[in-house]
Structure 1
């Protein structure tokens, strides 16, 4: 039999442990509530993963009910954790569905572009010479000391990303048409950035954007041997980086065309 004087000490110790457990379970409740609120405020997630959001809500309500009873801190934490995980799963499911929709849309767009290229190949040979001349004009390329250069602006890419936006398709299709019907010229795709951020990251982004353009042309049938890709990062600016307009001009991809024999000027 334990001495009577130990009972108050044990009660104090148990109270302290209960207090710690209650504080921890309340934290878990807060995390779960924040996660649920976050996904509940995004209509796309509610549309894509309604069952996961519902499970998150039900688990959170159960955790709150357990919180009203003394001695159930472990149950509170358990259901709060389940709620938080269901919220995370809802977001993941929504992102997966959005990626699938985006991939389907891109696939359909590529198929449409491939069909357009095939139609271009079937043009009457008697009119092909004139068509090529018109295409060179439509490329909006400028003659420079390095050769014919076409500039693609930053707006063709998603912000701070090397992913091409849908607006790039029509512009690049003109280049693909020209190269398909005029098989000798080659191109060098050059990427550039402004001077904001880390120089090494800018260099990598410029190379990735140039590569994205090259990959796009290859996906529509242009042989890889006709395409060079290089990134210059912050180098060779065409405007001052002091203004937003100037930085936008520096964030660009340039397509340099070779001569009729396929000779490109030397890299910078």
Structure 2
């Protein structure tokens, strides 16, 4: 019954031979162990663990998870096969001690040797796992450093557009002087700034932008809301015409809300008449206002 259970539980690990050399070798070792009745009888649990690991290696290979991952799992499976074989040898030796008193000393030595070999293989598995984890940490650290360097490079380019770093991300402000008076049409200076932003967005397609329009308190609420909407949309259409995908640019008009200066002075009102462009993080996220 034990032999049949091992065969059923481990059957999924003996599919068509894979193309990965390490995986092929692991399959060969596993099949050899399965054909040994001493292993299947005396080390059924250890052999099942090897079969389970080999199944994981097959799945990793079929999913294209990379040679390092497949090799790592194949190595562990191969070592587990060795442990199963050594366990079978040890138990066979222990049985021989029971059944053959005359050879007791010699067989005990063989049992100790097999146990020591199994311990060495287990230690090798542990070391391999530690090495794999260290390699993954090193790769993650390298990726983090690369990402930080890219972020610094992008922020430097945005600072050339007078972008400011805020809690919501990098923000570019287009002042009222970059639009025609009381209109949503960009002046030439505003178009130059938008072109620089379009160049940045076309170079880094992972970023999105939110364009927000604002006015001062002069005029009716409905007029100010409409003007802020139209100015934000004018920037959006300019970016689209410069090659930025439409689904990467959203707009919102706030009218006279969220002033940055006092509306009781000309300078304050002028600072309130603006368009703010918020640039997303590398995952396309923009913090809400």
Report the TM-score, using the length of structure 1 for normalisation.
0.50
Q: Shift in Å at residue 212 of structure 1? A: 0.1
Kindly report which structure 2 residues correspond to 1:102-181, keeping only aligned pairs within 5 A, or say none: 132=154, 134-181=156-203
Displacement, 1:131? 6.8
Say whether 1:214 aligns with 2:236.
Answer: yes
Paired position in structure 2 for 1:261? 283
Q: Which of 130-139 and 225-234 deviates more?
A: 130-139
Supply the RMSD in Å over aligned alpha carbons. 1.7
Q: Which residue does the alignment assign to 2:211?
A: 189
1:247 to 265, 269, 287: 269
Pick from 207, 210, 220 the counterpart of residue 198 of structure 1: 220
1:183–1:239 distance in 2 versus 1, CA, 3 Å: same
Secondary structure of the 1:261 match is coil
- Alpha-carbon distance, 1:134 to partner: 4.1
Could you list the structure 1 runs, at least 4 aligned residues long, displaced by more than 3 angstroms after superposition: 129-134
SS in 1 for 2:173: strand
If asked which structure has higher relative contact order (CA below 8 Å, sep 6+), I would say 1
Instruction: Count residues with an aligned counterpart.
Output: 140
In 2, the alpha carbon distance for the partners of 1:238 and 1:247 equals: 9
Whether the 8 Å contact between 1:192 and 1:233 is mirrored in structure 2 is yes
The answer to whether the Cα contact below 8 Å between 1:132 and 1:181 also exists between their aligned partners in 2 is: no
Structure 1 unmatched ranges of 5 or more? 1-128
More off after superposition, 175-184 vs 143-152: 143-152
SS in structure 2 at match of 1:171 = helix
Q: Which has the larger radius of gyration?
A: 2
Q: Which whole-Å deviations, capped at 9, do the CAs of 1:193-222 have from their partners, x for residues lacking one? A: 000011111000000000000000000110
Structure 2 length-normalised TM: 0.46
1:192/1:253 contact within 8 Å kept: yes
Kindly provide the CA deviation profile for residues 228-261 of structure 1, in whole angstroms up to 9, marking residues without a partner as x: 1000000000010000000000000000011111
- Report deviation, 1:137: 2.2
| Residue deviations 1:5-38 (CA, integer Å, cap 9, x gap) | xxxxxxxxxxxxxxxxxxxxxxxxxxxxxxxxxx
Matched residue, 2:256: 234
**Which blocks of at least 5 consecutive residues in structure 2 are unaligned?**
1-149
Secondary structure (helix, strand or coil) at the match of 1:167 reads helix
Contact 1:138 1:174 (C-alpha < 8 Å) held by counterparts: no
CA distance in 2, matches of 1:232, 1:174: 25
